[in-house]
Amino acid sequence: MAEVIPAIIPKTFSELNQKLDLISGIAEVVHIDILDGKMTAEKSWPNINAPDSNFVKIIREEEAFPFSENIEYEVHLMVENPEEYIQQWISAGAKRIIVHIESFENPQKALEFVYRFNDQYGGDGSFLVTELGIAIKATTDYALLETLIPEVDFIQCMSINDIGSQGQAFDETVIPKIKKLREMNPDLPISVDGSVNIDTAQKLVDVDVDRLIVGSAIFKSGNILGTIEELESLVPTPRN
């Protein structure tokens, strides 16, 4: 059984609150996509009208992140310069930070970033441990992850080609890639993000994915709790 994590690409602080209200008491962890309009075609809150007054209050710890009393957050940074964003989202209370390998010039630069992150926010560097995940696009060579995997907490595989927007087609090429990744790293937590729904989720469960990041399929379902429960109930298809 895979963990199901609702995903939100907020355009405004109000939209973020509205969607969080829908899943408060249902989901324990929520995935928030942050777009800079450079790595992605569009921007998301709080970058649309930065500096955003609501976000400033949160990172100054004048106000708590919405619904943080019963929801933990993982923050997916789809940005060109993730290091510029890290401290803000740590201050906002992020449980996990996800950065893209494509944000870095090469795997060595990515590894250097990981070392700095772990020194400052990992188990030995902070009283409040923040997990770090590396995201990788469907079309990027998974071999680039080799040196990073031992140093990060999880890998997030993107199963769409154009990151930063919902409603795209599922990229079937990720299935054999994830299968190989799992075979080589049996204990590695693997998340998948992008066009995850009832049909595609079964394929991902069959290759032993740990977390399903789900946006439209949850919020447009008309039955949020029922959809999450259905996704969580999926088990690997028996092999003959």
Domains in the chain, please, with CATH? 3-232 (3.20.20.70)
Question: Residue 125 above 70 pLDDT?
Answer: no
Percentage of the chain lying above the pLDDT 70 cut: 97
Helix axes 174-184, 198-206, angle to 10 degrees: 30
What is the reported pLDDT for 129?
Answer: 83
Q: Which DSSP state fits 234?
A: -
Question: Rounded to 5 degrees, what are φ and ψ at 200?
Answer: -75, -30
Question: Residue 27 above 80 pLDDT?
Answer: yes
What is the reported pLDDT for 161?
Answer: 84
Which strand (E) or helix (H) includes residue 157? strand 154-158
Report pLDDT digits (tens) over 43-73. Answer: 999 999 999 999 999 999 999 999 999 999 9
Report pLDDT digits (tens) over 172-229. Answer: 999 999 999 999 999 999 999 999 999 999 999 999 999 999 999 999 999 999 999 9
Q: Which residues of 204-222 are buried (b: 16+ CB within 10 A; e: fewer)?
A: bbbbebbbbbbbebbbebe
- The stretch 6-13 carries a mean pLDDT of 97
What is the reported pLDDT for 238?
Answer: 85
**Residue whose structure tokens are 């100054």:** 60
What is the helix, strand, coil percentage profile of the chain, to 5?
35, 20, 45
**Which residues neighbour 113 within 8 Å (Cβ) at sequence distance 6 or greater?**
82, 83, 99, 104
What is the reported pLDDT for 196?
Answer: 97
pTM of the model: 0.96
